């Protein structure tokens, strides 16, 4: 049952809960095919970027049919602002050497956060590292990023819902929308 939210800002709808569910199912099928060699002894490791990607990752995990496990990393460059601060803080306790990694992110916009997270993870010598993002905002890109799996291309606007917040608000919305100024 969807929660009723009372927020002060208006949200322009972008993607319905049904559209999100359908696209995630397609991505899960692609991942399952691409990593079909995963075994219980060598499962695919999903590293979820907190906090925004947790709902996407949970739904994605349920669509993947190969052995996989989940771990988390916390990365932030926004704080309580609508634009990136330009400083990324990363917190984790990961051991990934020799593992196939799927980095699960909510949104790639400037590319700064995902670029710094992938650079840090690569120093830990994974067997492979692929990026899966629910949303890609190429118009905002300042740092090159290539996501192997993308849910939706979105406009250069502030998106909320489905785990993505503004100042810790709107995460619980079952759909995605643009936060009006």
Q: Which of 59, 100, 106, 109 is catalytic?
A: 109
| Catalytic (active site) residue 109 | yes
Distance of CA 36 to the CA centre of its chain: 22
State how far the alpha carbon of 127 is from the alpha carbons of 92, 93, 100, 175, in Å.
19, 18, 5, 35
Would you state the torsion angle of the CA atoms of residues 68, 69, 75, 79, taken in this order, to the nearest 10 degrees?
A: 100
In degrees and rounded to multiples of 5, residue 73 shows phi and psi of -135, 145
Bridge-partner residues for 176, per DSSP? 15
Residues annotated as catalytic are 109
């Amino acid at each position: 049952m969807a929660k009723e939210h009372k927020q002060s800002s208006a949200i322009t709808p972008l993607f319905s809960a049904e559209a999100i569910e359908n696209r995630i199912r397609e991505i899960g099928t692609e991942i399952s095919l691409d990593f079909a060699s995963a075994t219980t002894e060598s499962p695919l490791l999903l590293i979820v970027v907190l906090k925004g990607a947790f709902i996407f990752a949970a739904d994605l995990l349920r669509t993947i049919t190969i052995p996989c496990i989940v771990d988390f990393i916390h990365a932030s460059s926004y704080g309580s602002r609508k634009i990136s601060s330009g400083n990324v803080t990363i917190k984790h306790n990961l051991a990934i050497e020799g593992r196939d990694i799927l980095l699960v992110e909510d949104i790639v916009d400037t590319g700064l956060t995902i670029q710094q997270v992938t650079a840090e993870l690569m120093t830990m010598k994974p067997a492979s590292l692929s990026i899966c993002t629910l949303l890609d905002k190429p118009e905002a890109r300042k740092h090159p990023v290539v996501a192997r799996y993308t849910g939706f291309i979105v406009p250069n606007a502030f998106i909320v819902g489905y785990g993505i917040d503004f100042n810790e608000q709107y995460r619980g919305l079952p759909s995605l929308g643009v936060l009006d100024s």
